[in-house]
């Protein structure tokens, strides 16, 4: 059991640090820089898409969540209800729920929206008329707003999850 516990902790903490750090970096530094770069920023977005950046975040999140569930299973002795009623269990469960919601937002909103932005950028390059370019620009602006809004929500949820789990032993 010790080897399993240590393996799950290393996976949970290692992938969790990468996942949260990469999302915070994306939302606070990289994303705003891409937007400030204008049309040149679209090339960066396309390259991130090509390199599967969002897929790697979703994969790291999945490993983090699944290993965390394994740790909860061990700690709660097979998901015993008493554990979940303890302050520690409630804090860890809250962090786990919030992280799962953040992951689902990434999967269901952020990932498709980033793909939409890249597709619209490619469309914009091929648009012949000013009218077509304006219509595409409007759709891009809508998608960008959604990406910024849900990216920020996801980041905040992840930070809440980290704080909740970090203080769980002390509540």
The 10 Å Cβ neighbour count of residue 35 is: 14
Predicted TM-score (pTM) above 0.85? yes
Cβ-contact 106, 57 below 8 angstroms: yes
Instruction: For 84-138, write each residue's pLDDT tens digit.
Output: 999 999 999 999 999 999 999 999 999 999 999 889 988 888 888 989 989 999 9
Summary mean pLDDT of the chain: 94
69 neighbors 8 (Cβ within 8 angstroms): no
């Amino acid at each position: 059991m010790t080897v399993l516990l240590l393996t799950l902790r290393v996976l949970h903490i290692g992938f969790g640090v990468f996942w949260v750090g990469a999302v915070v970096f994306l939302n606070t530094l990289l994303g705003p820089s891409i937007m400030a770069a204008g049309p040149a920023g679209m090339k960066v977005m396309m390259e991130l898409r090509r390199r599967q950046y969002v897929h790697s975040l979703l994969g790291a999140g999945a490993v983090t969540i699944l290993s965390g569930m394994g740790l909860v299973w061990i700690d709660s002795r097979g998901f015993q209800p008493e554990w979940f009623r303890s302050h520690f269990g409630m804090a860890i469960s809250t962090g786990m729920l919030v992280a799962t919601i953040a992951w689902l937002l990434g999967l269901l909103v952020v990932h498709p929206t980033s793909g939409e932005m890249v597709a619209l950028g490619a469309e914009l390059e091929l648009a012949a008329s000013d009218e077509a370019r304006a219509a595409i620009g409007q759709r891009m602006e809508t998608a960008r707003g959604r990406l910024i809004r849900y990216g920020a929500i996801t980041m905040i949820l992840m930070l809440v999850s980290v704080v909740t789990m970090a203080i769980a032993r002390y509540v």
